[in-house]
């Protein structure tokens, strides 16, 4: 019964995330009459997604190691994926998510969903210019980020230009394998809890 409940919860979370990240379905004041973000193509959207990630991970102290994973494109949107290689212990995940959520709120992002799951917590938000952004924990506690653009003009998309802080892997990155004295510690942080 417990397994069924967890499966239903996970299915609901994935469904909500999919609906929020349907890039062409996002609405915002920056769109032109055709529903596309005025003056932006897929390459510009990919660069904007990269900037959102770099700003987010720049706020995480102590620093974490992350790698570029992949880029996907739809009929009028682009999604960038990054994987965190630093081991974030179960006891420190709340702190990690708290840092990210506070930065997103301070940046004017609207928090759309917070999933407080013990096994696979996640936060989904939308930037003022209509980009969906998500941080989530998955298999073996691996944290990952995803940014999806609203509908933009079609173009080719180049790989990110900024070098990741972690090593390069062929294909899908492995489970987190970089230890951190702070993020990997299996004790709770002493002091005030992160904001909900």
The CA angle 177-181-182, to the nearest 5 degrees, is 105
The CA angle 62-167-135, to the nearest 5 degrees, is 55
CB of 129 within 8 A of CB of 28? yes
CA separation, residue 27 to residues 18, 51, 81, 175, 184 (Å): 15, 21, 22, 35, 39
DSSP 131-155: -EEEEEE-GGG-EEEEEE--S-B--
pTM: 0.79
* Predicted pLDDT of residue 190: 77
Q: Delineate the domains of the chain, giving CATH numbers in brackets.
A: 2-148 (3.30.2030)
For residue 153, give the DSSP letter: B
pLDDT by residue, tens only, the chain of 196 residues = 444 443 334 444 444 344 444 444 333 334 444 445 778 999 999 999 999 999 999 999 999 999 999 999 999 999 999 999 999 999 999 999 999 999 999 999 999 999 999 889 999 999 999 999 999 999 999 999 999 999 999 999 999 998 899 888 888 899 999 999 999 999 988 765 444 4
* Predicted pLDDT of residue 78: 97
* Predicted pLDDT of residue 171: 84
* Predicted pLDDT of residue 191: 62
* Predicted pLDDT of residue 119: 86
């Amino acid at each position: 019964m417990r397994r069924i409940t967890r499966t239903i919860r996970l299915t609901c979370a994935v469904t909500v995330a999919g609906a929020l990240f349907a890039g062409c379905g996002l609405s915002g004041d920056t769109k032109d009459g055709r529903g596309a973000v005025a003056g932006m193509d897929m390459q510009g959207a990919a660069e904007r997604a990269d900037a959102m990630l770099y700003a987010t991970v720049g706020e995480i102290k102590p620093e974490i190691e992350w790698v570029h994973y992949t880029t996907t494109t739809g009929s009028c949107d682009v999604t960038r994926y990054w994987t965190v290689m630093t081991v974030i212990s179960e006891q420190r995940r709340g702190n990690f998510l708290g840092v990210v959520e506070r930065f997103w709120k301070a940046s004017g992002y609207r928090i759309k969903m917070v999933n407080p799951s013990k096994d696979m917590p996640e936060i989904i938000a939308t930037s003022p210019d209509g980009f969906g952004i998500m941080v989530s924990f998955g298999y073996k506690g691996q944290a990952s980020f995803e940014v999806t653009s609203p509908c933009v003009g079609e173009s080719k998309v180049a790989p990110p230009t900024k070098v990741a802080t972690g090593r390069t892997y062929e294909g899908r990155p492995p489970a987190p394998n970089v230890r951190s004295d702070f993020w990997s510690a299996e004790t709770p942080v002493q002091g005030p809890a992160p904001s909900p």
